[in-house]
Amino acid sequence: MAVVLTLAVSLASGAEAAQVAVGRDVQTDVMVTIYNGNLGLVKDVRQTRLPTGLHETEFTDVAAQIDPTTVHLKSLTDPTGLRILEQNYEYDLLSSGKLMEKYVGRMVRLYNTDGTYLEAKLLSTAGPV
């Protein structure tokens, strides 16, 4: 399962648009508070450097049932210069088709029932096998 929160962010400047990925590897803290009524609060703190100018930032590996309206992003170096222009939330359940799509262009192993295998480059997921 892949859960991605995407933000279009502007940091005071007119530089060209770029794409930035912010994953669990830059996570500095996680706190969980559990309430009655099947409700919980997850505070996921990640610290990274964002380029100046307009760019798209993807936060991967976020809580699956996140409420996008509760997401807060702040700049530690320029709090007034950071603006969130757009925010999207993609909940992407893993399926065999999605898994195959992620490996297009990469080497894969095709296993036979007798345990032997063939290595090949996956060119496409469209059409018959």
What pLDDT sits at residue 115? 87
Contact 108, 119 (CB under 8 A): yes
Q: What is the dihedral of CA 53, 89, 79, 31, to 10 degrees?
A: -140
What pLDDT sits at residue 2? 47
Pairing of strands 18-22, 53-60: parallel
What pLDDT sits at residue 116? 92
How far apart, in whole angstroms, are the C-alpha atoms of residue 83 and residue 72? 11
pLDDT in tens, the chain (129 residues): 445 555 555 555 555 556 788 888 988 998 999 999 888 888 888 888 888 888 888 888 887 778 878 888 888 888 888 888 888 877 766 677 877 888 889 898 888 889 899 999 999 988 765
Where are the chain's structural domains? 2-93, 95-129
What pLDDT sits at residue 120? 92
> Which pTM value belongs to this model?
0.54
How far apart, in whole angstroms, are the C-alpha atoms of residue 59 and residue 94? 18
The CB density around residue 5, as the number of other CB atoms within 10 Å, is 20
Which tokens sit at 70? 């509760």
What pLDDT sits at residue 64? 75
Alpha-carbon 64 to chain mean position: 11
**100 CB contacts (<8 Å, ≥6 apart)?**
122, 125
What pLDDT sits at residue 43? 87
